[in-house]
């Protein structure tokens, strides 16, 4: 009797036994659910990181393509375009803009120097094909009409004269804003359109000059 009782008592599962608690079906399911939820959250986080990384790389790639193929960084040397541009200033030029729109008066353009194609110049367009350009005591005339030049400060004006000159077809008359210190069309004549390969659009260095150059062009037209 004692042995039977002992055997029966020995077969009873004690609720205080930790191993017995873990063997409960409800607790096992809860533990599995928690583990599954944690794994799902980790997978979601990894997926989001991959998506953000992919989008960031695509954005960087597109930015590089735009900069390399559409825009070109250049360094300004000299002061012929002061005060708009200073010596050693860094700017971006748009290399493709003139494939889609015509060169206009007031545009600040970059072109191969007509007398030495290994050099590039940057000047402002003041005369278009078919127009006649003249300077009288520093005042610019196109087809006999005065062209206001708010971008030329009084201290940079050149009060000399330049005889009337017709601008040939597919050529442009260019001048530096620093009129008394500029080698431009008054010296080497109008520039052929095929020599012009970009328009100044943005200054990025030094920091205090950071900003668009196109707004300045627009205000001069």
C-alpha neighbours within 13 Å on the C-beta side of residue 1: 0
**DSSP sequence for 8-64:** HHHHSPPTT-HHHHHT-HHHHHHHHHHHHHHHHHHHHHHHHHHHHHHHHHHHHHHHH
Cα distance between residue 165 and residue 110, in whole Å = 22
Catalytic residue among 20, 95, 118, 123: 123
Q: What is the DSSP letter of 213?
A: S
CA angle 195, 199, 200 (to 5 degrees): 130
Q: Are residues 137 and 41 in contact, defined by beta-carbon separation less than 8 angstroms? A: no
Q: Has 123 been annotated as catalytic?
A: yes
Catalytic residue among 75, 80, 181, 185: 80
Cα distance between residue 178 and residue 182, in whole Å = 6
Three-state secondary structure string covering 122-163 = EEEEEECCCCEEEEECCEEEECCEECCCCCCCHHHCCCCCEE
Q: Has 7 been annotated as catalytic?
A: no
Give the three-class secondary structure for 95. coil
Active site residues: 80, 123
């Amino acid at each position: 009797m004692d042995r039977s009782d002992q055997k029966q008592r020995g077969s009873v599962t004690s609720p205080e036994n930790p191993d017995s608690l873990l063997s409960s079906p409800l607790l096992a399911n809860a533990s599995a659910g928690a583990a599954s939820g944690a794994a799902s959250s980790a997978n979601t986080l990894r997926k989001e990181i991959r998506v953000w990384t992919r989008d960031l790389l695509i954005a960087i790639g597109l930015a590089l393509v735009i900069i390399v193929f559409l825009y070109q960084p250049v360094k300004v040397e000299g002061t012929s375009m002061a005060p708009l541009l200073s010596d050693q200033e860094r700017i971006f030029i748009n290399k493709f803009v003139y494939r889609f729109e015509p060169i206009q008066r007031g545009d600040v353009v970059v072109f191969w120097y007509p007398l030495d194609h290994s050099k590039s110049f940057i000047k402002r367009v003041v005369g278009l094909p078919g127009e006649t350009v003249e300077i009288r005591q520093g005042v610019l005339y196109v087809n006999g009409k005065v062209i206001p030049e708010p971008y030329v400060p009084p201290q940079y004006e050149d009060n000399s004269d330049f005889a009337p000159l017709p601008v040939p077809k597919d050529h442009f008359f260019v001048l530096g804003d620093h009129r008394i210190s500029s080698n431009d069309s008054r010296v080497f004549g109008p520039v052929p359109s095929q020599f012009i390969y970009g328009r100044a659009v943005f200054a990025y260095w030094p920091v205090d000059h950071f900003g668009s150059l196109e707004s300045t062009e627009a205000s001069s037209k």
